[in-house]
Structure 1
Amino acid sequence: MKTKDDNILNDDCISISSLSEYTDAITSIRNNIIEDGKSETLFFRGQSNKSWDIRPSIFRDGLISVEHKIIQTATARVPQEFRECSSAFEELTKLQHYGLPTRLLDITMNPLVALYFACLPTSKVNDKEGNDVYPDGIVYICTGYEEHEKSYKAQILSEITKIGFDGNFTLKDLRTRLGVNKDIDPESFIKLIQDTIFVMPSYSNSRLIRQSGAFLISGAINVMTNEHDLWNSKVSKSVKNLNQEVDKKHIIIPQDSKEKLLDELDFFNINESTLFPELEHQMSHIKKVGARWVTTESPSFVKYESETNVSHPVSDNSTKKIDENEVTKIFLKFSIPKLYRPELLKIILDIQQYPDWNYKENTYNELIKNLKHVIKDFDKNKSKTLAEQIANKLISISK
């Protein structure tokens, strides 16, 4: 029988294969924090591949060098979307929500939400033996004291994203651009702009609410120290891996346990539909649920054909040829003057050169247009009505 100790890989790493094992592990970590008398908040981040580093999207592909341009372009393109944002941090969360690369890293206060993301399917990777395998997932656990999005630190780190640093940009220049009090000493300012903090958002969108979302934001500003005048030290934006901020405790999700865990989470109403309120995610979840309802293979379509149709096949689009006598009867029915009948008859006979003319909207419209052009010479007010009546009568006797 498997015991709880069998799951422990080391003091900071546990492997689980069921929801009960996962909740036991989380509860144990929480109890340890309480016993230590700490008041820090527990945060979680789930990743479907345990080998991925923990890096905000703006810290990838060299995007940090154009961070300010990306944000300025986005907010200028749709300014009405950002007018109601009450803080620079809220602007960032909105940009992040719609897929723009930012220096925000998504985390959650709900361990079940983190587990959901850790269990999502992902592409195969090469293992140590060179085989293509699906990777294990991971839930990172960390503790920290959260800041509100309108806190001083959160505002400073958010405003940095809007500033472009040229080659001669100094610590003093940055302080001026940020509007920081001149009484601050340079070392305290450096600590501020290099800090990484947990931020509680204002829950301005329903996805954040459903996912109990929070964020990590990092300054990641390099300082090239000027020994003679620290304020004249040059500064630059850099990229940063946040593993050290969140990997103090982590739980491994074996690949072969992911599907089972997703099913258990679904029972507790943790799924794509509840975590993502957008319509496309609602439909995606329904599609997945529908696939689980299928119990038998659906038969292929076979069109019904009667004995008559089998023995004497007739084209669906077969058209009866209308002779001059039938057309003359139509002219009489609608009181078409003799003077105009030959020209109208020619139009009708010409349109029948197309074998399926009576099934096509474009030929039908062309017929009405040509008939109307002739009829308006003797009855302008009723030309359209007469043209449609003649065309419809022709179609009715041609099928």
Structure 2
Amino acid sequence: MKEHRVKNWTELQEALFAESWNESIGRFRSRFAFRGVPDENHDLSTSLNRDQGSFADHERGLLRAFRKYARGHFAPACESVWDWLALAQHHGLPTRLLDWTFSPYVALHFITENPDFHKVDGAMWCVDYHETNRLLPEPLQAQLRTEGADVFTADMLAEGAGDLASFDRLAQHPFVLFLEPPSLDERIVNQFALFSVMNGPQLRLDTFLEKQERGVRRLIIPAALKWEVRDKLDQINVTERVLMPGLDGLCRWLRRYYSPRPR
């Protein structure tokens, strides 16, 4: 894994779009997934295995109960365990999924959204899923080749693994794949959302990525740069109002936008 501390806005832009040129099609098409954290010390543990994995032993029970009770409140076309996991993650249930995005600017938003963290350095994880796909079990790699895809949909993944137990048995070694969630609502669509998932509830993605020599970089966003990044994101309309449609997102944006900058 490579780590790079950016110095200014211009250098940040170069780093965000590095390696995005695709010679075979003559277009700029990034192969990276992005995740931003407001404090560089935040890890990549999931809500399931955070805090010494307090929920990991209850993964099946949590999901079983969620499927039972969620049907009375929300009735999307959840046809597979992966649809249900995406829905559960979206609404705050502890799962083995981790939120990512195809958009580096959306990731920057989550680095700079909370002014309480503007005194500490933030970080952005950038992962080339073409590289991590090389470590997938052959049946999953074959499925991507057949579909001509780089990341999985819930339907695709359900064909290769109908439940979590069979998914975990696909390989003895740890691997990660990226899953594009169903468009449950505008929030998922506007955030250009993506999930990562590993083949075990206790596995940690940061531990996995730190061992990768190719396709992984971590950008450090200095605290001194955060206010400039935040103001420029507001100007290009990457805000809570857009990324979290509805009155809650609107109020979050207004409260932050009109808050005075601390001296």
Report the TM-score range of the alignment, normalised by the length of the smaller protein: 0.7 to 0.9
1:212-255 Cα offsets, whole Å, 9 max, x none, are 011101112xxxxxxxxxxxxxxxxx511101555621211111
| Residues 205 and 105 of structure 1, relative CA distance in 2, 3 Å threshold | same
Q: Secondary structure at 1:266's aligned position in 2?
A: helix
Which amino acid is 1:85 matched to? Answer: C
Rounded Cα–Cα distance in structure 1 between residues aligned with 2:114 and 2:221: 12
Q: Secondary structure at 2:64's aligned position in 1?
A: helix
| Residues 34 and 246 of structure 1, relative CA distance in 2, 3 Å threshold | farther
Give TM-score scaled by structure 2 length.
Answer: 0.76
Rounded Cα–Cα distance in structure 2 between residues aligned with 1:29 and 1:119: 24
Q: Tell me the number of residue pairs that the alignment of Structure 1 and Structure 2 aligns.
A: 230
Q: Secondary structure at 1:139's aligned position in 2?
A: strand
Q: Secondary structure at 1:191's aligned position in 2?
A: coil
Q: How is 1:91-240 mapped onto 2 (pairs within 5 angstroms)?
A: 91-121=84-114, 134-144=119-129, 145-152=150-157, 156=161, 159-160=163-164, 189-191=169-171, 194-220=174-200, 238-240=201-203
Cα RMSD after superposing both structures: 3.1
Q: How is 1:25-44 mapped onto 2 (pairs within 5 angstroms)?
A: 25-31=15-21, 34=23, 41-44=31-34
Q: Secondary structure at 2:204's aligned position in 1?
A: coil
Structure 1 stretch 12-21 or stretch 250-259: which is displaced more?
12-21
Give TM-score scaled by structure 1 length.
Answer: 0.51
Q: How is 1:1-399 mapped onto 2 (pairs within 5 angstroms)?
A: 12-31=2-21, 34=23, 41-61=31-51, 62-80=54-72, 81-82=74-75, 84-121=77-114, 134-144=119-129, 145-152=150-157, 156=161, 159-160=163-164, 189-191=169-171, 194-220=174-200, 238-244=201-207, 246=209, 248-291=216-259
1:284-318 Cα offsets, whole Å, 9 max, x none, are 212333446xxxxxxxxxxxxxxxxxxxxxxxxxx
Kept after mapping to 2: 8 A contact 1:75/1:82: no
Extract unaligned runs of 5+ from structure 2.
130-149, 211-215
Extract unaligned runs of 5+ from structure 1.
1-10, 125-132, 161-173, 179-187, 221-237, 293-399
1:169-203 Cα offsets, whole Å, 9 max, x none, are xxxxx55xx8xxxxxxxxx9441895321112222
Which amino acid is 1:260 matched to? Answer: E
Rounded Cα–Cα distance in structure 2 between residues aligned with 1:41 and 1:28: 10
| Residues 40 and 288 of structure 1, relative CA distance in 2, 3 Å threshold | closer
Rounded Cα–Cα distance in structure 2 between residues aligned with 1:255 and 1:141: 19
Kept after mapping to 1: 8 A contact 2:47/2:96: yes
Q: Secondary structure at 2:20's aligned position in 1?
A: helix
User: Which structure ranks higher in relative contact order (CA pairs < 8 Å, sequence separation ≥ 6)?
Assistant: 2
| Residues 151 and 269 of structure 1, relative CA distance in 2, 3 Å threshold | same
Rounded Cα–Cα distance in structure 2 between residues aligned with 1:209 and 1:72: 26
Kept after mapping to 2: 8 A contact 1:82/1:91: no
Q: Secondary structure at 2:100's aligned position in 1?
A: strand
1:130-167 Cα offsets, whole Å, 9 max, x none, are xxx942101111111312221146762x721xxxxxxx
Which structure: larger Rg? 1
Rounded Cα–Cα distance in structure 2 between residues aligned with 1:192 and 1:154: 20
Q: Secondary structure at 1:151's aligned position in 2?
A: helix
| Residues 275 and 26 of structure 1, relative CA distance in 2, 3 Å threshold | same
Rounded Cα–Cα distance in structure 1 between residues aligned with 2:204 and 2:120: 21
